[in-house]
Amino acid sequence: MFEELQNIIKYRFKNQSLLRQALTHSSHSIKIGENYERLEFLGDRVLGLSIAALLYRAFPKEPEGSLSPRFVGLVCRETVAAMAKNLHLDRYMIVGSEDIRENENVLCDVCEALIGAIFIDSDCETAVDFVNEHWKELIDKNVAPPKDAKTKLQEVSCSKNLGLPQYRIESREGSEHEPLFHVSAHLSNGLQTIGSGRSKKLAEQAAAAAMLGRIGHDG
């Protein structure tokens, strides 16, 4: 069933059930051990360790303050989700609803679960090699972290003597596996904006981006 995918990822599983588990979303099976959640937990840590080691070796003269933003850019949701698409994991995901295939959070989770599955199926060295194989080009391209709207808003609001932005969850809707948060951002001058996202953090970023646009600092 997954022959083509294993050719794409350049790894062949000894235990095919691990690969199936890594690709299975909780909307298809909520049973522990049948969906990717535990493997994603493991894979997230393996990815972080692998990228940290890669950067440590690739940039021997850089201080921690320079390595950290590189690390963030390489393990952030957007980068890992893009890697999942590049490996065509979205085509092979086992889901209860087809629209889940395009969900960036889910794509990120599946990619991390795949790394965790490789770790369990083989060993740490093989999992690290997998990350090296697929992330090396990004490191060579000197990937920088995406702009953080919350950080930028904090800088702008402080420069205008408006204090630190405050965030508040206004509402939550949707199902358990596809929630939608609505969060408000507030400045001390009374300005308020609303942002929405599939997680609290994403909604806060959206609210911060809206506030930056409101006060004329969206560039």
- Point out the residues that are catalytic: 44, 112
Q: What is the CA 144 to chain-centroid distance, rounded?
A: 15
Phi-psi region of 33 (alpha: psi -120 to 50; beta: other; left: phi over 0): left
The two tokens of residue 95 are 């889901």
Q: What is the DSSP letter of 171?
A: E
Do residues 107 and 84 touch, judged by C-beta distance below 8 A?
A: yes
Give whole-number Cα distances, 185 to 38, 151, 168, 212, in Å: 33, 13, 7, 10
Do residues 21 and 34 touch, judged by C-beta distance below 8 A?
A: yes
φ/ψ (deg, to 5) at 24: -95, 120
Distance between CA atoms of 131 and 111, rounded to whole angstroms? 10
Distance between CA atoms of 181 and 98, rounded to whole angstroms? 21
Comparing CA positions, the residue from 20, 16, 46, 45 lying closest to residue 31 is: 20
What beta strand segments (E) does the chain contain?
166-174, 179-186, 192-197
